[in-house]
Structure 1
Amino acid sequence: MEALVPAFIVTVLAQLGEKPALLTAILADRFNQPLRVALAAIVAHAGLNAMAAMGAILIGPTLSPNAQALFLAIAFLFGGLGALLPARAPDRLDGWRLGAMATTALGTFSVALGSQTQFFALAFGVFGLPWFAFAGTLAGTACVAIAAALTGETLWVRMPLRALRAVSAVLFLGAAAVIGSGALRLT
């Protein structure tokens, strides 16, 4: 249970200014079906986060507690560095004629593959609670996907996402420093 809430909070912070959320907003406007688009995005995120949880099942038992903490610190470090980079707009998938569900599911899967969310699911999951980490990251991505789909592209891009990314970067880098120094026994 210890991984559920932190994974949720970290995922929401990481996803707010990322490509998958903007793509969800774009496709919700394009298809005029926000709930279907949000559901398809959630399905794509579920598949990706489930793969991360399965990876945590495989590598978690091989790591010492300090290595697990260092793994989490590295996830926060990369999350913070990623939040400092300007977010680029995703491909609008205008040529995709697969319908609202398939276009959103496949597009979100391809855009979100290897994103911070999976790394956080893996990092929280190596502590021996991979399915709680999966549930937390999935709930976080679901909240952001639903919000993006319901607001649509016009309102989504007007949100202060740059400021949110800056706050996320500071929080993630601070967490990386604290967790990493503890893992390396520097404190």
Structure 2
Amino acid sequence: MTAFDRFRDEVAAHPSNDWARELGYRPLVVGSERSRVLIVSQAPGRRAQASGIPFDDPSGERLRRWLGVTDEEFYDADRLAIVPMDFYYPGKAASGDAPPRAGFAAQWHPRAFELLPAVRLTVLVGAYAQRRYLPSRPALTLTETVRAAGTRLPYFPIVHPSPLTQGWRLRNPWFETDTVPLLNRLVREALSAP
């Protein structure tokens, strides 16, 4: 059993997650002491929670393309760690999924990050992760934050790959033409670093 396995078991056993355990959910958090790229995302979707596989949906396919990695690379914990803002599917909202639970990241992220000493690049997927790890005064919009992605290394903010962001991507073609190739290069560099 790895340190990350023990960490997942601790999260699953915590009283705040009794509801998830009763539904048969396991915390969807992945990593190892050798992970080079860290994905900090919103929370698992319904399909991912049901399968027990992070980003097991069209959003995941799009994210892997943006990162420039194969399925094999993406699901290799020695290469990529996935630490959402909440490790459980939060349920439905009026539009899309409900937000991650308040306080979850503050409680569990520091412990998860201690287990990831080899991380070279942290990809912040969506506004929840960006607000937590890239606070700014005055507050920037998601578009402004993502537009300046290359200036915040080792953090790299991107829009969420959900179909709900299709309109944003159409209004901001620079994301696919400029930001995605830069992200591909940085991921390759992080994965090949000694």
User: Is TM > 0.5 for Structure 1 vs Structure 2?
Assistant: no
- Specify which structure has the higher proportion of helix: 1
Q: Relative contact order (alpha carbons < 8 A, sep ≥ 6): 1 or 2 greater?
A: 1
- Specify which structure has the higher proportion of strand: 2
Q: TM-score, normalised by structure 2?
A: 0.29
